[in-house]
Chains A and B, each alone.
Chain A
Amino acid sequence: DAKTTQPTSMDCAEGRAANLPCNHSTISGNEYVYWYRQIHSQGPQYIIHGLKNNETNEMASLIITEDRKSSTLILPHATLRDTAVYYCIVRGSNQAGTALIFGKGTTLSVSS
């Protein structure tokens, strides 16, 4: 799986959009970009994933650059409950049954 680079920490005001970047310059053609988060003392939570098109669900939007070397997770209206560590993971298709490898992630702090 390709390596990812994320900022160590970010701050966001409550109600504002949180934009979390991820670099994955060595991503290969069949690898997807996944985002998970882990709120303190809870289990990791799947957020969203994409291959090359932008994706949106009820939690977030994922913007992947045309060259696929970077992506941005957008939480449109951050709340205090969005304070968590966010992980960007690149994985090939058909990886069911294999371990998720979490890097250091970005600690997002949302404040009022």
Chain B
Amino acid sequence: NAGVTQTPKFRILKIGQSMTLQCTQDMNHNYMYWYRQDPGMGLKLIYYSVGAGITDKGEVPNGYNVSRSTTEDFPLRLELAAPSQTSVYFCASSLRDEQYFGPGTRLTVT
């Protein structure tokens, strides 16, 4: 069981570029989440999904898009990257209430 995997680990983007952060889980969890964590701060929920084909906004969805075509994958798309999106991004999944997190993607937008 690899758990939750995320790629890439690190990325530097220029302002206005776009990219997709990949997230895959092999635990057959229905629920998946994307969080961001700014330095010294707590987690903020960007988007979540309760199952394939169903997604919903979290606290800070602006500037991001998601899709959930399979149970395993939950990619996060950044369009027109901005410096305010510099952060560490964590993907998580859950079967019930306890959430299991990936190792994170550290993104810098300059």
**What separation, in Å, do the CA atoms of A91 and B96 have in the docked complex?**
12
Q: Is A26 an interface residue (CB 8 A)?
A: no
**What separation, in Å, do the CA atoms of A100 and B33 have in the docked complex?**
10
Minimum CB–CB distance for A43 against chain B, Å = 3
Q: Which residues of A contact B90 (CB under 8 A)?
A: 43-44
Are the C-beta atoms of B50 and A49 separated by less than 8 Å?
A: no
Q: Is the interface of B mostly helix, strand, loop or mixed?
A: strand
**What separation, in Å, do the CA atoms of A43 and B59 have in the docked complex?**
19
Q: Is B43 an interface residue (CB 8 A)?
A: yes
**What separation, in Å, do the CA atoms of A32 and B98 have in the docked complex?**
11
Q: Map CB proximity to A onto B93-110 as digits: 1 under 8 Å, 0 otherwise.
A: 011111111111000000
Are the C-beta atoms of B103 and A43 separated by less than 8 Å?
A: yes
Minimum CB–CB distance for B66 against chain A, Å = 14
Minimum CB–CB distance for B56 against chain A, Å = 8
Considering only residues 39-70 of chain A, those with a C-beta below 8 Å from chain B are 41-46, 49
**What separation, in Å, do the CA atoms of A41 and B56 have in the docked complex?**
27
Minimum CB–CB distance for B92 against chain A, Å = 8
Q: Is A95 an interface residue (CB 8 A)?
A: yes
Q: Which residues of B contact A99 (CB under 8 A)?
A: 33, 35, 43-45, 48, 58-59
Considering only residues 44-77 of chain B, those with a C-beta below 8 Å from chain A are 44-45, 48, 50, 56, 58-59
Are the C-beta atoms of A96 and B103 separated by less than 8 Å?
A: no
Instruction: Identify 13 residue pairs between A and B in the complex whose beta-carbon atoms are under 8 Å apart, listed by A's number.
Output: A41-B104, A43-B4, A43-B101, A43-B102, A44-B43, A44-B90, A44-B92, A91-B97, A95-B97, A97-B56, A99-B33, A99-B44, A101-B42
Q: What are the 10 closest A-B residue pairs judged by CB atoms, nearest first?
A: A43-B101, A99-B45, A46-B98, A102-B42, A43-B90, A44-B101, A96-B31, A97-B50, A43-B104, A95-B97
